[in-house]
Structure 1
């Protein structure tokens, strides 16, 4: 009788173990399959123009400008990049090849896919993409916030053209007409650049109050501009 009870107890023990193992394995399988997978291929140039404060990533974004999930894109010596990003939740409505800062905030986007209607696997075949830092400054700062007064029409305020193809030569190492002894952009020093002082509201010589052009919500663009200047203001 004791032997029979012993076998019964052992059988029940194995039964409990077997019943317990099933749901654990099933739960693990469900967890490992959550989210979508993004496969990105691209040929990248200009990445070496960016300082370490920024990262080129493939990332998922929802309603905000901060990446929900991201993975760094590291091209090989020929500029070829191949990245797989897994676990992209349904919260992400777009996946992008973009530059982010250390706070994971999107600075500039180079390629975007609306993934709200995509399946489990999203292919991003980007092709050739130039991520030069000055181009980002031109597009995100000058084109979006400055050229309406500085060259976007038939003339430019104070004769300062910030349109594509003219802005670099108009700014870098060009003496300021408002502050004697200063230049508009001093390569290697944003603090000594009159452009920085104007945008930060630190230039009493400025007659037009440019500090409102890039308000608090655009401070990441001030940082982009400063980092470009501090790292040599390269074209």
Structure 2
């Protein structure tokens, strides 16, 4: 399995606090714990040529992990179109935290993907609401994060195919934090936690969910479906 971790990588360059938490970037932190799981992992960032997503790299990627925030608008539409097609062909996509506003997630959802938010050191408790789902294998009844950015409903997304995790925040809000979708041959997982000024991606259970999600989103090995005008499989008798 080949995983590509894409990170905008702007906060790490602009904010000393973020750079201290993630000295190798958010993508570096995610790559590290995925590599420990014996997964072949590569990274790419916004300011690389083609945002680090060449045709060759995209073609060999089984699962793409996406983190963005400040510069969604800088992602080239032609790159988004190529990622969209690869998802339809079967590539898995895991969208993290503020990636809810990314061009690719909004294109796949067909909605604004807007929400409420607050940075106030809220405690977050993510409840497992689908305990039989493989994405939460090895997770208890809930995941508790001491401090995180709040995301609150209404989250303007289509009803998930599967709702896996629901968050409660100290300020009283709730949020659909673990949502799965299928588009074409591809599987998509949106996972809420991961604000850049908190060390969320070092949390053992957060790492476990992402590892599980990568395995879940790994493409089914089959030929891409054919479309358009089709010849009959059987002889059609004249009436």
Question: TM-score normalised to the size of structure 1?
Answer: 0.22
**Which has the bigger relative contact order, CA under 8 A and spacing at least 6?**
2
Question: Of Structure 1 and Structure 2, which has the larger fraction of its residues in strand?
Answer: 2
**Bigger Rg over Cα:** 1
Question: TM-score normalised to the size of structure 2?
Answer: 0.22
